[in-house]
């Protein structure tokens, strides 16, 4: 059976009954009607039974509106019509059976196609979930590391804030006595000059016995040294304030070169005398950042470099600007960073120093701070030795 045909097509006689069955039916009817009976198709051609005479009557076999065939025979019209009615019932049953089975086939195919679609959709979603479960572990780890980094940033921010508060308090407390020490020193210089004018009135032997020439000269030197000391204290306080950015807790535009300058002055006090720090600053555009945090980052990198070079070497700080970003290179000529640990130096609690010497957080914190500024930090190993930490921050 051809499954491609439509269930609702118009049937022709040959689809509903075979010539052999038509012959049998006609033979049976012939006995009942006592007259030869023919079965004709819709066009009136002989299909089965005894071929009709030219005078034969016809009774239509109509399933819907138009006949699919005829019964023909030489007998009374009412008899022939009654026989056609019986014959028609047979055809109608066949037609209904064919329609039902063809429709059933179409429906089954439709349902099957739909099931296949659903199956495919299910398969796809299964694939999706399988993939998801495969990556889930990695995703969880990724999220954990993000949380970890955020926690460290938070810890660092709190630490910076408390350092800032401490620095602000210390700066305030030192500034006041510094003020009156400075002004007292000025007074003292004036007083020394007054004492010098006493010489003519003092007997020469007394002046000499007390060695007042030396006293006056040394007094001036002492005052001058003290003045230099006070100025130095004032500068340190200023640098400390600048470094911790205690006055600037919010994001703001700064000149990174100036920040690095103040950092270098702080470091200069800590470093061994043999180590020199060279700076090569190119003019930079203003950078919107958290200055206190960035300073902390660069301080950590510098301290790391200082420990690497020991006591003999040079640290270079270079700054450079492009249209999109500012680059800072902090290079030392120390032993360099071995290839095998280069990927781990930003990991928390990774340290090459003895327990107690370092926390293993210095570069991690620097890394987090640079990342928080949407920047990147990387290690370069120049061919001429040493190590370079490159920081790039978008403008």
Partner 1 sequence: MPELDQGANRLTFKLVYYGPAQSGKTTNLIQLHDLAVAEMKGELMTLETQHDRTLFFDLLPLGFRTSSGLTIRFRLFTVPGQTAHDGTRKAVLSRADGVVFVADSQRGQATNNGESFNNLAENLARVGLVLDRLPLVVQFNKRDLPDILAEDDIRQRYVGAPWPLLFSAAVQGSGVRETFAALLHQVWRRYAGELELSRVHGLNEDSFVAGALGVSL
Tokens 């990387």 belong to which residue? 378
**Contact with partner 1 (CB under 8 A): which of 3, 14, 32, 108?**
108
Residue 179 CA to residue 239 CA, distance in Å, equals 17
**Residues 275-304 close enough to bind partner 1 by CB under 8 A:** none
Q: Which is nearer to partner 1, 109 or 172 (CB)?
A: 109
Q: Which is nearer to partner 1, 46 or 98 (CB)?
A: 98
Residue 60 CA to residue 88 CA, distance in Å, equals 9
**Contact with partner 1 (CB under 8 A): which of 45, 96, 141, 159?**
96
> Any contact of residue 3 with partner 1 (CB under 8 A)?
no
**CA nearest 294: which of 203, 367, 194, 384?**
367
Report the sign of the C-alpha dihedral through residues 183, 185, 190, 195, in that order: positive
**Contact with partner 1 (CB under 8 A): which of 99, 149, 314, 321?**
99
Residue 108 CA to residue 110 CA, distance in Å, equals 5
**CA nearest 261: which of 276, 243, 244?**
243
At 38, is the secondary structure helix, strand, or coil?
strand
Q: Which is nearer to partner 1, 8 or 78 (CB)?
A: 8
By rule CB under 8 A, what string of x and - marks binding of each residue 43-62 to partner 1? -------------------x
> Any contact of residue 15 with partner 1 (CB under 8 A)?
no
User: Residue 196 — φ and ψ, nearest 5°?
Assistant: -60, -35
Q: Which is nearer to partner 1, 106 or 189 (CB)?
A: 106
> Any contact of residue 6 with partner 1 (CB under 8 A)?
yes
Q: Which is nearer to partner 1, 16 or 33 (CB)?
A: 16
Residue 200 CA to residue 380 CA, distance in Å, equals 72
Q: Which is nearer to partner 1, 99 or 149 (CB)?
A: 99
Smallest separation (angstroms) from partner 1 to the CB of 88: 10
Structure tokens at 298: 């660069």
Helix crossing, 77-196 with 362-372: angle to 10°? 120
Tokens 């008899």 belong to which residue? 79
**Contact with partner 1 (CB under 8 A): which of 8, 78, 205, 250?**
8
Q: Which is nearer to partner 1, 106 or 261 (CB)?
A: 106
Helix crossing, 212-244 with 77-196: angle to 10°? 170
**Residues 253-272 close enough to bind partner 1 by CB under 8 A:** none
**Contact with partner 1 (CB under 8 A): which of 64, 142, 211, 218?**
64
- Binding footprint of partner 1, residue count (CB under 8 A): 22
At 344, is the secondary structure helix, strand, or coil?
coil
Which range touches partner 1 (CB under 8 A), out of 103-111, 272-280, 321-329, 354-362?
A: 103-111
Smallest separation (angstroms) from partner 1 to the CB of 49: 24
Smallest separation (angstroms) from partner 1 to the CB of 86: 16
Smallest separation (angstroms) from partner 1 to the CB of 61: 13
Residue 364 CA to residue 149 CA, distance in Å, equals 9
Q: Which is nearer to partner 1, 112 or 129 (CB)?
A: 112
Structure tokens at 55: 């005078």
**CA nearest 374: which of 277, 294, 263?**
294
Q: Which is nearer to partner 1, 109 or 235 (CB)?
A: 109
**CA nearest 263: which of 231, 230, 299?**
299
**CA nearest 49: which of 83, 15, 73?**
73
Which range touches partner 1 (CB under 8 A), out of 74-82, 102-110, 181-189, 239-247?
A: 102-110
Which range touches partner 1 (CB under 8 A), out of 16-24, 93-101, 341-349, 375-383?
A: 93-101
> Any contact of residue 107 with partner 1 (CB under 8 A)?
yes
Structure tokens at 292: 């206190």
Residue 244 CA to residue 262 CA, distance in Å, equals 10
> Any contact of residue 221 with partner 1 (CB under 8 A)?
no
Number of neighbours of residue 358 by Cβ within 10 angstroms: 17
By rule CB under 8 A, what string of x and - marks binding of each residue 114-133 to partner 1? x-------------------
Smallest separation (angstroms) from partner 1 to the CB of 100: 6
Task: Return residues touching partner 1 (CB under 8 A).
Answer: 6-8, 10, 62-66, 92, 96, 99-100, 103-104, 106-111, 114
């Amino acid at each position: 059976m051809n499954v491609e045909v439509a269930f609702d097509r118009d049937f022709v006689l040959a689809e509903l009954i075979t010539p052999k069955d038509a012959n049998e039916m006609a033979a049976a009817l012939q006995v009942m009607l006592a007259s030869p009976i023919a079965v004709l198709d819709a066009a009136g051609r002989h299909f089965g039974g005894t071929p009709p005479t030219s005078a034969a009557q016809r009774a239509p076999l109509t399933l819907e509106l138009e006949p699919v065939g005829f019964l023909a025979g030489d007998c009374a019209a009412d008899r022939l019509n009654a026989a056609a009615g019986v014959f028609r019932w047979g055809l109608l049953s066949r037609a209904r059976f064919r329609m039902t089975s063809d429709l059933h086939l179409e429906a089954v195919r439709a349902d099957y196609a739909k099931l296949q679609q659903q199956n495919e959709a299910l398969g796809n979603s299964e694939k999706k979930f399988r993939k998801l479960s495969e990556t889930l572990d990695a995703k969880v780890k990724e999220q954990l590391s993000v949380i970890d980094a955020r926690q460290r940033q938070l810890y660092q921010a709190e630490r910076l804030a408390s350092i800032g508060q401490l620095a602000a308090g210390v700066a305030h407390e030192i500034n006041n006595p510094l003020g009156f020490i400075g002004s007292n020193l000025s007074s003292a210089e004036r007083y020394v000059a007054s004492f010098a004018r006493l010489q003519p009135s003092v007997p020469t032997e007394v002046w000499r016995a007390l060695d007042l020439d030396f006293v006056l000269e040394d007094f001036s030197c002492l005052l001058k040294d003290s003045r230099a000391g006070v100025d130095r204290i004032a500068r340190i306080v200023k640098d400390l304030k600048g470094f911790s950015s205690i006055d600037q807790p919010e994001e703001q535009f700064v000149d990174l070169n100036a920040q690095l300058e103040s950092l270098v002055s702080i470091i200069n006090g800590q470093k061994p005398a043999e180590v020199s720090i060279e700076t090569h600053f190119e003019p930079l555009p203003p950078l919107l950042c958290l200055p206190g945090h960035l300073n902390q980052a660069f301080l950590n990198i510098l301290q790391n470099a200082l420990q690497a070079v020991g006591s003999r070497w040079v640290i270079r700080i270079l700054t450079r600007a492009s249209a999109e970003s500012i680059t800072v290179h902090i290079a030392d000529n120390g032993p360099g960073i071995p290839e095998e640990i280069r990927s781990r130096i930003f990991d928390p609690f990774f340290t090459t120093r003895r327990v107690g010497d370092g926390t293993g957080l210095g570069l991690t914190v620097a890394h987090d701070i640079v990342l928080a500024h949407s920047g990147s930090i990387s290690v370069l190993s120049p061919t001429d030795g040493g190590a370079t930490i490159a920081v790039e921050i978008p403008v």
